[in-house]
Amino acid sequence: MSPQEESDCPRFDQAHSFSSSDRRISALVRHLTVPTHASPMDSISAAPTSAFGTADSVFAHVVQAPEDPILGVTVAYNKDPSPNKLNLGVGAYRTEEGKPLVLNVVRRAEQQLVNDRSRVKEYLPIIGLAEFNKLSAKLIFGAESPAILENRVTTVQCLSGTGSLRVGAEFLARHYHERTIYIPVPTWGNHPKVFTLGGLSVKTYRYYDPATRGLNFQGLLEDLGSAPSGAIVLLHACAHNPTGVDPTLEQWEQIRQLMRSKGLLPFFDSAYQGFASGRLDADAQSIRMFVADGGECLVAQSYAKNMGLYGERVGAFSIVCKSADVARRVESQLKLVIRPMYSNPPIHGASIVATILRDRDMYNEWTVELKAMADRIISMRHELFDALRARGTPGDWSHIIKQIGMFTFTGLNSEQVAFMTKEYHIYMTSDGRISMAGLSSRTVPHLADAIHAAVTRMG
């Protein structure tokens, strides 16, 4: 090696032995060093070319995208230096101290998994963990569901609720004769994007009535009654996001009869089973009504909220079919949707869920913790309602305690929301949706003061 070559290589203390990584780096540098006698054609010129160096990026035309309307709330919140700031935009449960919660039963399950030395990190099958799929179907449809007993249900593990919806959308775009899906107004902000990019045409039906801050049931029936035969209809199984307004069981029955009479295909988004009322079976009643009549339906299922597994991205997608033979063929095609998308799902989160659902003691512990979360959210609704009433805030705020689930559609307009953010450092989506799970007894007075000021000053 020439002196020049030596000067270009990393030098090490002779007394210090090379680690294997040091030796690899040293060898790589020697390999890449151009010998002094080499021809300029033997190496790539270091001078900038039209494609590299000082030239414009090939992506220079790309414009700055706006923040996601929901996740962007947290971005703005994180930039605010105020010690009194409050984030009510995030759809995640918080404790009374405002901290994220990991369920005790989840920690127990994880510890059990860690202690099992036989566990490996091999790929799961394309459709995921078989036990997870089986137990997820039983959880949402009921263990004694005829559809399960007759093997008419195919369930695949997906990437939480969003991934389940996307897999369902792409399957329908490939294999269903009608590619129009009707979604409620309003709905979760990601729904239109997921279904559009999945290959479906999105239309809407009336759902929320701003005047009553409740369900526009008549408008819903009229719009679904006008939908073309065979159209797909997105239904929130419970705890409608963002409004917190759900149909009654009697209204669900009317919706079922109308949809079946017109041959409309129900596609349920179940993100909050057990998280709305605190009762797993009660929050699945709408889905089970549609399954009980023998008809077909689709269900996207998430464990983000009810097990607090947000970052684990654990979900399931199920299709209830007319026969076991159809279900088998449907599953084979779902594999063809999943394989080029993400190949197969992650193992850890699904293993946590399966561990809890299979063990009677863990399952019971989960239901207790789940009900405690639901009850705390319900108590926050009552505290906020009482605080607004105590302040004499103009308007009828009873919708806060009538709505259910993680979110409340306050009725505040975008100007009032902007006022509350600027003057009180309270962050929420511009449509006035707030996460009740982000509130605590300590922060309710601050929110009530802000709402009172916004309503009295901003009209």
Q: Which of 331, 323, 329, 249 is nearest to 290 (CA)?
A: 249
Dist. CA 155–CA 271, nearest whole Å? 16
For residue 109, give every residue at least 6 positions away whose Cβ sits within 8 Å of its Cβ, in sequence order, or none.
Answer: 351, 352, 355, 356, 362
Q: Out of 223, 246, 252, 269, which one is annotated catalytic?
A: 269
CA distance 179 to 185: 19
| Residues 162, 314 contacting (CB under 8 angstroms) | no
Structure tokens at 128: 């995921």
Gap between the Cα atoms of 292 and 154, Å rounded: 16
CB 73 within 8 A of CB 90: yes
Report helix, strand or coil for 301.
strand
188 carries an active-site annotation: yes
* Residue bearing tokens 């030596």: 6
Q: How far apart are CA 365 and CA 370, in angstroms?
A: 9
269 in active site: yes
Q: What share of the chain is helix, strand, coil (3-state, %, to 5)?
A: 45, 15, 40
CA distance 345 to 22: 36
| Matching residue, tokens 């103009």 | 394
Q: Which of 252, 305, 366, 397 is catalytic?
A: 305
Joined tokens for residue 53: 């160096």
Query: Is 13 annotated in the active site?
Result: no
* Torsion of the alpha carbons at 243, 246, 251 and 252, rounded to the nearest 10: 120
Q: How far apart are CA 357 and CA 164, in angstroms?
A: 20
Measuring CA to CA, how many Å separate 142 from each of 106, 259, 283, 353?
A: 22, 22, 12, 16
Q: Which amino acids are annotated catalytic?
A: 188, 269, 305
